[in-house]
Structure 1
Amino acid sequence: MKSDAEDLMPRLLPVELGDSTEDVDLNGPPRNPQEYLRQVQLEASLCPDVVVAQIDPKKLKKQTVNVSVAGCHAAPVGFCPSLSWQQQQVSNFSDVRQRIAKNRKHWSSQTLDDNVLMPKLTDEESWKRFCLGERVYLGTTSYNKDTEQEPALDFNKVGFPPFLSIVSRLNQSTVLVVLEILINWFEEREFVPQLGRWLYALLACLEKPLLPEAHSSIRQLARRCGQLRSSLQSEEDEQLPALNLLICLGARYFEQSDLADQPE
């Protein structure tokens, strides 16, 4: 009698040796191709249709998976950007990404100034100093509009801008690591322009399709921006356009649609 599996899947190598199996030795080596195939058939027929694994629950390691599906804070009345504004930002961002990809080889070959010392991948504190500057990192002073107008600009104090000659040198692993470092820093602190420039540049360097870590970081960033936006007191706040932009890119360009602002 044919099994259900045989009814569903016709034999590609039929073997007809009659109904007798007494002359087939499963323990010995096959003497010819037909005997080999017959051995396989007999071994398969001896296997149960359903096999239940006996697992000792005490030997299983407990695993914890943190999955966050929380969305953004809804924009307060008057704080939500228009749909046309969001679409324009996505278009501009796409153009920037294309230009970076096209000229990455050229910019990565440019010689860096002697004072530009790229941190090691795992040195989180050095990356914070490098991108944000000692003043912001150490919290010795809040951001001042006149900071970047000083006659002798000290990048060690105000942070290195994400020059193309710098970000073009970062591989995808480094981009992801630095992005995560800065977003984690942002979770506990206020928004500053140095941070915004770096976040935009790193997002522009992310390659698609995104890794799960990148999706997680983008969602974390959008939620933090939404949280901070909800605390703003005025539509004229200088932080509002930057926060709206980062939310827009995460939701509209990187397709985290549940985070998108929906204009009234």
Structure 2
Amino acid sequence: MNLTQDFEEYDEVDTSDDDCGGQLDRILVPKLPVAQFDDYDPNRPPVTGAEYLRRVQLEAQKCPEVVVADMDLSRFKSNQTLVYEDTNGFIRLKPELIPPVDWQREQVSEFSHVRTRLAKEREHRLSTGSVVTQSVPHNRPMNWWREFCIGKTSDNNSSDDSSDESICDDKSDVSTTTDGTPNSSSQLKRTKRQKPEPNVPLLSTLCGLTQDEVVRVLSYHIQWIRQFKFTQHMGLWIYSLLVCLDKPLPADVYSTLRDLSRVCSECRQRCRSTSDDCTEWWALNLIICLIGGYFDQTDMCDQ
């Protein structure tokens, strides 16, 4: 037995030989030199330090790379007090009810085209100074937006909001004169409407919204879907607001989109089971498809 290598020389030893071969030895690089043995009996107890290191090396080569404990976990179920469900709350459709993949791709492509057209229109209006900032007054409360987007609703709270400002009957606050100047204050006077009709998302309105307003009104729609029945008019506003979102999106906006997809899946489940009219059902499918396919929330869509 001759110890022919020192620590410096041992670092240069090829680990592909029989003594240090194998995948395990390539991961666990030896740190101590092991002497070369011409005749070594592994069944004989080691009597020197070199023989002991050789014995450890041979035993390490016999160990499996991965060791998994074989345990019976069923005996611990009686002690479990908290059950964790790995779910995001999104209700997926049955495979036979999922919209065709071609339809989903077509909707995402058309949505991208609409976003491009809106971006060009915004840029054109900004460059020509034709953006009408009076189209939608800023810093309005949620009840004002509810009346503006979906009209007066028959909930218990809508009749008590006497302090909220309501929309003008003649909609003069969203118009300008022929020479491009805003109307006089008398034309902008606010009046109470007995039965206000919901407004459609006009291009002039969408171009006048800031990103904070887009996200805020979008979050309002999530509350309205939970509080009221989903309608096609809600779907029209949600689609238009999604078009207005500028990428890249902040994390809180992605959270809003996930909440929207989640509540749409819940509403779709009720709509499918209680109504024969599939119009709202397809509108909900479209919103879910766009959130998953265009905004990359793939775990919040059916496919």
Aligned to 1:211: 250
Aligned to 1:241: 282
Give deviations 1:17-60, integer Å, cap 9, x for gaps: xxxxxxxxxxxxxxxxxxxxxxxxxxxxxxxxxxxxxxxxxxxx
Letter in 2 for 1:75: L
1:225 aligns with 2:225: no
Write the distance in 2 (CA, Å) between the matches of 1:162 and 1:185. Answer: 17
Write the distance in 2 (CA, Å) between the matches of 1:107 and 1:184. Answer: 32
Runs (5+) with no aligned partner, structure 2: 1-85, 159-169, 172-192
Question: Matched residue of 2:279: which SS?
Answer: coil
Residues 176-185 or 232-241, more deviating:
232-241
1:82 aligns with 2:100: yes
Question: Matched residue of 1:85: which SS?
Answer: helix
Matches within 5 A, 1:136-147: none
Write the distance in 1 (CA, Å) between the matches of 2:258 and 2:102. Answer: 22
Residues 79-88 or 185-194, more deviating:
185-194
Q: What is the CA-CA distance between 1:246 and the residue it aligns to?
A: 0.5
Aligned to 1:118: 136
Write the distance in 1 (CA, Å) between the matches of 2:215 and 2:94. Answer: 31
Question: Matched residue of 2:110: which SS?
Answer: helix
The higher-RCO structure (CA 8 Å, 6+ apart) is 1
Letter in 2 for 1:166: T
Write the distance in 2 (CA, Å) between the matches of 1:255 and 1:235. Answer: 31
Runs (5+) with no aligned partner, structure 1: 1-67, 141-151
Residues 127-136 or 212-221, more deviating:
127-136
Aligned to 1:91: 109
Question: Matched residue of 1:157: which SS?
Answer: coil
Matches within 5 A, 1:150-229: 157-229=196-268
Q: What is the CA-CA distance between 1:132 and the residue it aligns to?
A: 0.8
Write the distance in 2 (CA, Å) between the matches of 1:103 and 1:92. Answer: 17
Under a length normalisation based on structure 2, what TM-score does the superposition of the two structures give?
Answer: 0.53
Aligned to 2:302: 261
Matches within 5 A, 1:121-136: 121-135=139-153
RMSD: 3.0
Change (3 A) 1:130 1:196: same
Write the distance in 1 (CA, Å) between the matches of 2:233 and 2:123. Answer: 25
Identity %: 35
For these two proteins, the number of residue pairs brought into alignment is 181
Letter in 2 for 1:204: V
Contact 1:131 1:198 in 2 (8 A): yes
Give deviations 1:211-262, integer Å, cap 9, x for gaps: 1121011111111111111121367522111010000011111000111213
Q: What is the CA-CA distance between 1:120 and the residue it aligns to?
A: 3.2
Contact 1:131 1:160 in 2 (8 A): yes
Write the distance in 2 (CA, Å) between the matches of 1:117 and 1:139. Answer: 27
Write the distance in 2 (CA, Å) between the matches of 1:222 and 1:124. Answer: 21
Question: Bigger radius of gyration, 1 or 2?
Answer: 2
Write the distance in 2 (CA, Å) between the matches of 1:119 and 1:174. Answer: 11
Letter in 1 for 2:261: A
Question: Matched residue of 2:136: which SS?
Answer: coil
Contact 2:219 2:256 in 1 (8 A): yes
Aligned to 1:70: 88
Aligned to 2:49: none
Contact 1:251 1:259 in 2 (8 A): yes
Change (3 A) 1:204 1:92: same
Letter in 2 for 1:241: W
